[in-house]
Structure 1
């Protein structure tokens, strides 16, 4: 492998991340399941977001290493929101000498608020050259194997009935794609960026908080604690976003079924979580028929 590549520092379902140039930068290299077009799309979208002044890592160049497409980025010294939430839950359920429960809650909610602020900033941009959100969602639903043809048609009909906007959206604002650095949030992994409705991004975030199946390694006490705070996280997140951008929870709730249906085509969530989403989609479709 290229001599400029250093220690492996992270990985995901689509890529591996290594130190680059004496650790001053990182390189994200595609796995076999991610083609060159997808990586170029991520590079172009991230470059666009950087040039718009948004809180994203600076992308330096698109490269190929031993036949693998990759992107060289600024190295961000911070933690993902996922890591911070898990650490918070583990700390909350262990000894907390000298730290109050209220202090923990405020720390957690600070992360939630700055996430809402970051998304509001991203959504303030428009008229950019990225794919159509609505068409992307419809295409993803078409590949889903967990719903009947009739159910997929009903979800797409619901999607088509929703108001249409033309704002920049990230497309995958999960807790692993949100970095916290020195009290500020940054967004990574721009492969799925689109132009459309902020409500879709907000629904994606809410779905993850509400329905995500927690890692098996977490102690039962930590799982129980996270389950008790899921809805309070959503309340704080939407309260902050509504103050900034005026979009209400009720407007976002209408997008839950289409975005949950889209998530059924993703590789990054397991069967248990997909079954939870299928049940929620069917419940919502049934409610619409009443």
Structure 2
């Protein structure tokens, strides 16, 4: 793409590419062909709601058209994602000469727990229904039989419905750390619903994320050894603030895992792990 406003490419996901925009203070998030203008307009709307709530999010500015592809201009946030921190720590822990402080895990868990609680403390109008979004994604997911989809939806139907602001895709790649605070990006799936669903999504990502193949196998072993401790520390902080503990989230694991099977951004190997977990819960 040729445009004088562009700087370097910063990142890329399943639905968009991100470039520096008009200097170093802003970015532009440009939709890929698999993402509609309506989807980007919804993301801008959700981002503005989160910004107006005073949440730690990039300031959203405007829609732009880049050679026929829609984009959104945001404030640029400098920081590392939680997922990158996890991977870097796993790699360093696999090296005998690279000891790490346990406080790193605790600081990140505390910051992230507070961030989720801050988001979920709001209830806003004019947001999509979380329940409807989850059900739609389960119905469209591959890898599950129709009978298994029906069984997962039956589990979802038994869960209470709440009306709190939820991010909808709170995976560790969408949470950026700046020293000792956090910013959450990518609000395209935001909705009104249950905090437990957001928490289940975050836990699933930590529990089942597969390391990039270029990292040493020792790093994968070290990450596996710390996954559940990261979840425990995170939930301890969140429960202290909200009263919601892991037992409240357990019933959401199967529906959210089924929902994630329709996502573009996770590997086939991760989807197989999710299918196994769903089937175990349905048929145990």
Task: Pick the TM interval, shorter chain.
Answer: over 0.9
Query: Paired residue for 2:212, among 202, 211, 215?
Result: 215
Q: Displacement of 1:128 after TM fit?
A: 2.5
Contact 2:87–2:211 (Cα < 8 Å) also in 1: no
Q: Residue in 2 aligned with 1:55?
A: 56
Matched, 1:272 2:273: no
Matched, 1:138 2:135: yes
Kindly report structure 1 stretches of 4+ aligned residues shifted beyond 3 Å: none
Q: Displacement of 1:270 after TM fit?
A: 1.6
Contact 1:88–1:108 (Cα < 8 Å) also in 2: no
Contact 2:58–2:183 (Cα < 8 Å) also in 1: yes
Query: Paired residue for 1:258, among 244, 248, 255?
Result: 255
Question: Deviation per CA, 1:188-247, whole angstroms, max 9, x where unpaired?
Answer: 000000100000000001111111222111111111100001110111011110001111
Q: Displacement of 1:182 after TM fit?
A: 2.6
Query: Paired residue for 1:173, among 165, 170, 173?
Result: 170
CA RMSD of aligned residues (A): 1.2
Q: Distance in 2 between matches of 1:8 and 1:233?
A: 31
Question: Deviation per CA, 1:106-163, whole angstroms, max 9, x where unpaired?
Answer: 1122112211110110000003311000010001111112111111111101001011
Q: Distance in 2 between matches of 1:272 and 1:93?
A: 23
Q: Displacement of 1:272 after TM fit?
A: 1.3
Pairs within 5 Å for 1:11-90: 11-90=12-91
Pairs within 5 Å for 1:91-102: 91-96=92-97, 101=100
Aligned residue pairs total 283
TM-score by length of 2: 0.97
Q: Displacement of 1:94 after TM fit?
A: 2.3
Query: Paired residue for 2:155, among 158, 166, 188?
Result: 158
Q: Displacement of 1:95 after TM fit?
A: 4.9
Query: Paired residue for 1:200, among 197, 200, 204?
Result: 197
Question: Deviation per CA, 1:231-268, whole angstroms, max 9, x where unpaired?
Answer: 10111011110001111101101100000000011111
Query: Paired residue for 2:121, among 114, 124, 146?
Result: 124
Q: Secondary structure at the match of 2:127?
A: coil
Structure 2, unmatched stretches of 5+, are none
Question: Deviation per CA, 1:67-110, whole angstroms, max 9, x where unpaired?
Answer: 1111111111111111111111222222546xx54x2x211221
Q: Secondary structure at the match of 2:259?
A: helix
